């Protein structure tokens, strides 16, 4: 039985929450800048049409908010060894995890694909606007990678403990250790 898995998962969820908070700030700053753009003003030869907020920017903002809430909820559930209430099994975690993972995949992929007008950010590198866009793409990737590591960690934990439990076991992962249960 792997006893370090709860600590690893808490660490990964904590990293996800930090990256998501940064992504939330960056997407919020970009949306604020875009929505308060002065018509007729040009930044390094780019007109205001370059500064319209794409729908996936809002999607990344919403995804980061969901990831923050989700990660802190799961951290609390694992740390307090909850066994009752909503979202207390690996199956429940898997559903929420998959939705947020998929949202990060779609948002990050759209922000990165060559057909997107953000794909060639090197042409304006060094300007505030370009730096925010570059950071958004970077932190979106960090969030997606962290989510992927969380999924791999949970899958490996379940595979390594197949004799002790299943996806319907409490997601705190402390089976058979004599750990007390809490209803908090």
Q: Say if residue 34's pLDDT is above 60.
A: yes
pLDDT confidence of residue 18: 97
pLDDT confidence of residue 70: 92
Which position has the token pair 């809430």? 69
pTM, 2 dp: 0.77
User: What whole-number distance in Å separates Cα of residue 160 and Cα of residue 156?
Assistant: 6
Instruction: Fill in the DSSP letter of residue 22.
Output: H
Structural domain spans, the chain: 57-173
Q: Say if residue 170's pLDDT is above 80.
A: no
User: What whole-number distance in Å separates Cα of residue 74 and Cα of residue 92?
Assistant: 11
DSSP H/E element including 29:
helix 5-35
Which structure tokens are listed for 102?
A: 């998929």
Q: Chain-wide mean pLDDT for the chain?
A: 76
More confident residue, 176 or 88: 88
Of 164, 13, 165, 144, the residue nearest 74 (C-alpha): 13
Q: Say if residue 16's pLDDT is above 70.
A: yes
Of 137, 100, 131, 113, the residue nearest 23 (C-alpha): 137
User: What whole-number distance in Å separates Cα of residue 100 and Cα of residue 105?
Assistant: 9
pLDDT, tens digit (0-9, with 9 covering 90-100), for 106-145: 999 988 876 566 556 666 666 667 788 889 989 999 999 9
pLDDT, tens digit (0-9, with 9 covering 90-100), for 37-64: 655 555 545 544 555 667 788 999 999 9
User: What whole-number distance in Å separates Cα of residue 128 and Cα of residue 92?
Assistant: 41
Q: Say if residue 150's pLDDT is above 70.
A: yes
Instruction: State the CB neighbour count (10 A cutoff) for residue 11.
Output: 15
């Amino acid at each position: 039985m792997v006893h370090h898995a709860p600590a690893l998962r808490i660490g990964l969820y904590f990293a996800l929450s930090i990256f998501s908070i940064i992504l939330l700030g960056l997407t919020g700053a970009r949306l604020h800048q875009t929505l308060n753009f002065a018509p007729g003003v040009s930044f390094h030869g780019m007109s205001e049409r370059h500064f319209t907020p794409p729908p996936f920017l809002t999607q990344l903002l919403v995804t980061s908010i969901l990831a923050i809430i989700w990660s802190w909820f799961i951290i609390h559930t694992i740390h307090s060894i909850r066994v009752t209430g909503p979202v207390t099994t690996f199956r429940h975690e898997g559903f929420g995890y998959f939705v947020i993972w998929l949202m990060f995949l779609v948002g990050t992929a759209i922000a990165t694909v060559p057909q997107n007008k953000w794909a060639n950010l090197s042409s304006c590198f060094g300007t505030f606007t370009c730096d925010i866009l570059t950071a958004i793409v970077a932190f979106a990737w960090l969030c997606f990678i962290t989510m992927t590591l969380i999924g791999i960690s949970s899958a490996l934990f379940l595979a390594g403990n197949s004799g002790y439990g299943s996806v319907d076991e409490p997601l705190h992962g402390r089976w058979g250790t004599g750990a007390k249960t809490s209803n908090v």
